[in-house]
Amino acid sequence: MLMRAMLEQLTALAGQGPVALARVVDTTGPGPREAGAAMIVTRSGEVVGSLSGGCIEAAVVETARQVLATGQAVTDRFGYADGDGLAVGLTCGGEMEVFVEQVGPEHLPLLSELHRRITEGSPVALATRLDATAEWKLSHTGTTEPWHGVDRDVLALLAAGHSGVVGADECEADASPRPRVFVQVFATPARMILAGANDFVRALSRTGRQLGYRVTVVDARETFATPARFPSAHEVVVDWPHRYLRTEHEAGRIDGRTVVCVLTHDTKFDVPTIVAALSITEIAFVGALGSRRTHAERTDRLRAAGVTESSLARLKSPLGLDLNARTPDETAISIAAQILADRGNASARPLDRTDGPIHR
């Protein structure tokens, strides 16, 4: 069960005395739960929620008893275990890291603030140090105070709507060590809308999902726009991309984190789609794939369609960084790298040709 769904229960139980909160903080390979899945264990042995559907719960309950006895947080790691054997682990073949900490009345003000922001629909992230202290920090848009050198990483995950682990043992020579921190984000993921239904879209949908985006593939051709052809996409929509963008905008489902990439290679699709995307000022990134000649011809058509020079300046075309990419997968990396650099106000230059902190 995700922590969002059991937040009220956690608050009520913690108000009565310390409980153990176990959360999945990292996974590798196939697994029954995603990061953020949570389970509560009380001093009396009551268990609320689950982490794996039964594979590791008994072991986590034992760890929870230890945490309640000592007050010190503990990290458990589980790997593959043969279903016919005696070892505790996951039969699905994946790996899972579980962090177990004590939560008590002292956490109530922060839990109350977390609940309030979630109820209001305001994006918020709960950052937790993955060490014995299990220190908490609540971050939201506009948070500026530094926190163990990972505050900007926390806000980056919040902006993407994606939970994950930040921080590392290594740090810049003139900086303090950065602890490992689990960032649990309570927000809708940022969207990546891909216009087209080809191999480049398939590759970029896979890369976009790995980066934490909610990926939508949209194309008017029903034969090509099928979930089977784009298994990594969260949804595949059969519609004219420009009409879909306007509908989503009117419904309030496009915001300042939305990325739109036009990969159609067809004027009757890409020109109306780019016109629609550039007309929606909230969209964070608008890109279009194509050669320099295609870009020049398309720009003339966009001007003829009434797109202003200031709007054209927002268009990233030809799309992608100069990686000499040729295959769809290489091109997807090129495009994703440009999106990351653009959204992070980074130079996209090789690190060995820059100076200053790597993590800014």
Q: Determine the pLDDT at residue 1.
A: 62
Could you give the residue range(s) of every CATH 3.40.50.720 domain in the chain? 191-344
Please determine, for residue 54, whether its predicted confidence score (pLDDT) is greater than 70: no
Instruction: Look at 33 and 114; give whichever has higher pLDDT.
Output: 114
Question: Which conformational region is residue 32 in: left (phi greater than 0), alpha (psi within -120 to 50 degrees), or beta?
Answer: alpha
Q: Determine the pLDDT at residue 178.
A: 87
Please determine, for residue 279, whether its predicted confidence score (pLDDT) is greater than 70: yes
Share of the chain above pLDDT 90, in %: 69
Domain 191-344 superfamily per CATH: NAD(P)-binding Rossmann-like Domain (3.40.50.720)
CA-based nearest residue to 163, from 206, 115, 128: 128
* Local confidence band at 142 (pLDDT 50, 70, 90 cut-offs): confident
Least confident range from 82-96, 145-159, 231-245, 280-294: namely 82-96
Q: Determine the pLDDT at residue 169.
A: 53
Least confident range from 56-65, 99-108, 277-286, 313-322: namely 56-65
Share of the chain above pLDDT 70, in %: 90
* Local confidence band at 29 (pLDDT 50, 70, 90 cut-offs): low
| Amino acid letter for position 235 | E
Q: What is the pLDDT of residues 195-237, one digit of tens each?
A: 999 999 999 999 999 888 999 999 999 999 999 999 999 999 9
